[in-house]
Amino acid sequence: MSYATTFTNRNYRNVLKEYGYDKEQIDHKVVNTWKQLFDSSHPETQIYFSIGDDLAYMLDTGNDDVRTEGMSYGMMMAVQMNDKDIFDRLWKWSMTYMYMEEGENAGYFAWSCAPDGAKNAYGPAPDGEEYFALALFFASHRWGDGSGIYEYSKHAKDLLHHCIHKGENNDGYPMWNPDNKLIKFVPSVEFSDPSYHLPHFYELFALWSYEEDRVFWKEAAIASRQYIATSAHPVTGLAPEYAFYDGNPNHIRGFGHFFSDSYRVACNIALDYEWFKDNACPVVVNEKIQAFFADKDPEDYRRYTIDGEPFDEKALHPVGLIATNAMASLATSGNHAKKCVDLFWNTPVRTGKRRYYDNCLYFFSLLALSGNFKIWFPE
C-alpha cells in the first residue's frame, strides 16, 4: 500500500533541538522520563505496575483506579518506545478485566477498574477506545500480528467497527454520532468532549479499518477539525471539557469550563498538524492558548471560563498544563512557543498523589517535541 508523501518518509520535527537543546540531553531526558514512569526503582513517579508474568496496569494515583485512558496511553507510549513486553502486559490486563462481553456495552471496555481487576463501572469512555485502536495498529505494524488477543490489527479493526455500528440492531449505542460523525462523551449521551477529538487518528483509521468503515473515518477527521475550531473560544482559544455538538459549552455537572480534560486539545491540534499538515487543522487555536497563558504564573494556574475568567479553584494538574502548552508548539512559532517549551524543559515530572495525569501528558509532550511520537506504517 502506498501513502501520500505529506506524512510519510519524512523526519519528525525535534522542536527541542530547534530551540537549542542538546540532542544527547534530549535523548537522555526521553529515556529517563520513561524510566521514571515505568520503572519500580522510581516509586515517587511510577504509574506503571507489573503483575505476575504477563500482566500490568497504569494506576491513576489520584483516584486509585485503573482507567482505559491510562491503559491505552500506556500502550501508545510502549509502542513508541519499542517495548513489546510492556505493551502486551497492558493489553492482556485490559482484555482480562476491562473488556465487556455482556449487556448494552458489550464489545467496549469498562472505563474504570480497581487495581485487582474488579470493575468500578460498566460503561466505557470513548477516548480509551480510540487510543486502544491506534496503539494496536501501530503494534501490528511495528512488531507484526500474533495470535489470539495479540492479533493486534484484527482487534483494532473489530473495535472500530463496533464503535460506529453498535446500536444498529438495538444492542446499545455507538461511540460516534452516525449523522454528524462526532465522538460522544459516552455512548448513551448526545454531546461531546472537545479533547476526545483526534482527527489525526481518524485519518489513519480511514487507511487501516475495515474497507466499509473507511469513508466514515475520513468524514470524522474532517468533522473533528471543524469541531475543535468551533468549540474553542474565538479570543482565548480555551475549550470546555464538555460541549454540545454545536461547540457551545455544556455545563452539566460543572464541566463547561476550561479544566483538566481541556488541556489535551492543544496536544491534539499539535500532533495533527505535525502528522498531516492539513490546512483545516486549527493551529490558530494553539497560538491563542499560548498567548493566553503567556503572562500567567504556573504556580497560579486555575480553572477558567472559556473566555478566560479565573475561578478561585487552582488547576488540579498544573504540570500537565505546562506540558500541553509546550506540545502546542509543534503547530506554532515565535516567542510564546519558545517560552512554553523552555518552561516545560525546566519542569520535572510530577511526584505525589496526583502525578498520573500530569505525567501522562508530560511524556506524550516529550515524545512529540523530541520527534519521537511517530506514525508506524505497515511494512
Query: Among this protein's residues, is 127 annotated catalytic?
Result: no
CB contact at 8 A, 216 and 164: yes
* Residue 183 DSSP code: B
Residue pair 225/277 in contact (Cβ under 8 Å)? The answer is no
CB of 65 within 8 A of CB of 120? Answer: yes
What does the angle CA 197 – CA 129 – CA 328 come to, to the nearest 5 degrees? 35
pLDDT at position 1, please? 39
CA distance 23 to 35: 19
Give the residue carrying C-alpha cell 534530549.
26
Quote the pLDDT of residue 8: 62
Question: Count of CB atoms within 10 A of residue 325's CB?
Answer: 30
263-306 residue pLDDT tens: 999 999 999 999 999 999 999 999 999 999 999 999 999 999 99
| pTM summary value | 0.97
Coil/strand/helix, residue 155: helix
Q: Report d(CA 146, CA 11) in Å as an integer.
A: 29
Joined grid coordinates for residue 153: 490489527
pLDDT at 359: 98
Pair 68, 124: CB distance under 8 Å: yes
Q: Distance from first CA to last CA of the chain, Å, rounded?
A: 9
Q: Which domains does the chain have, with CATH numbers?
A: 12-46+187-379 (1.50.10.10), 54-175 (1.50.10.10)
299 is catalytic: no
The ranges of the chain with pLDDT < 50 are 1-6
CA–CA separation, 262 and 240 (whole Å): 6
CA distance 203 to 219: 9
Q: b/e per residue, 12-31, with b = 16+ CB within 10 A?
A: bebbbeeeebeeeebeebbe
Q: Is 226 helix (H, G, I), strand (E, B) or coil?
A: helix
Q: Which of 127, 130, 241, 261 is an active site residue? A: 261
- Residue 2's pLDDT is 40
**In this predicted model, what pLDDT tens digit does every residue of 79-89 receive, in sequence order?**
999 999 999 99
Q: What is the dihedral of CA 163, 166, 172, 175, to 10 degrees?
A: 30
Candidates 34, 120, 281, 142; CA nearest to 26 is 34
Catalytically annotated residue among 69, 130, 274, 278: 69
Residue 245: partners with Cβ closer than 8 Å, 6 or more residues away:
177, 180, 182, 190, 191, 192, 227
Residue type, 217: W
